Amino acid sequence: MTNPKENNPPGYVIGLDTSGDNCSVAFVRDGLVLNSATKNAPGNQLLYLVPLINDLMEKTSLSRSGYTGVGVTTGPGSYTGLRLGLATAKTLAQVLDVPVVGLNTLDIIAKNAPPGNGCIIPVMDARKKEFFFAAYIYESGKIERISNYNIGGIDKLASFISGHNDGIYILGSGVPFIAGTLRDNDKIHILPDNFWYPKAETVAVETEKIIAKGRGSSYKDIDVFYLREPDAIPLEKQVLK
Q: Do 15 and 26 contact (CB within 8 A), yes or no?
A: yes
**Same domain flag for 21 and 83:** yes
Provide the Cα torsion 154, 126, 123, 228; round to 10°. 100
Question: Tell me: the pLDDT tens digits for 179-204?
Answer: 888 766 788 999 999 999 999 999 99
Classify 26 as helix, strand or coil. Answer: strand
Classify residue 237: in a domain, yes or no.
no
Q: Do 88 and 53 contact (CB within 8 A), yes or no?
A: yes
Classify residue 234: in a domain, yes or no.
no
Classify residue 5: in a domain, yes or no.
no
CA triple 144-150-151, angle to 5 deg: 150
pTM score, whole prediction: 0.90
**Same domain flag for 190 and 127:** yes
**Same domain flag for 176 and 72:** no
- Angstrom distances, CA of residue 151 to CA of 73, 131, 145, 192, 198: 17, 5, 16, 23, 18
pLDDT at 156 over 50: yes
| Long-range CB contacts for residues 28-37, cutoff 8 Å, separation at least 24 | 28/201, 28/204, 28/205, 28/207, 28/208, 29/208, 30/208, 31/205, 31/208, 33/201, 33/204, 33/205, 34/60, 35/59, 35/60, 36/200, 36/201
pLDDT at 113 over 70: yes
**Same domain flag for 102 and 120:** no
**Same domain flag for 97 and 160:** no
What domain count does the chain have?
Answer: 2
Find the mean pLDDT for residues 148-175: 92
pLDDT at 13 over 90: yes
Classify residue 4: in a domain, yes or no.
no
More confident: 47 or 6: 47
CATH number assigned to the domain comprising residue 145: 3.30.420.40
**Same domain flag for 126 and 158:** yes
Question: Tell me: the pLDDT tens digits for 36-75?
Answer: 999 999 889 999 999 999 999 998 888 788 999 999 999 9
Q: In this predicted structure, what is the pLDDT of residue 230?
A: 63
**Same domain flag for 135 and 190:** yes
**Same domain flag for 90 and 69:** yes
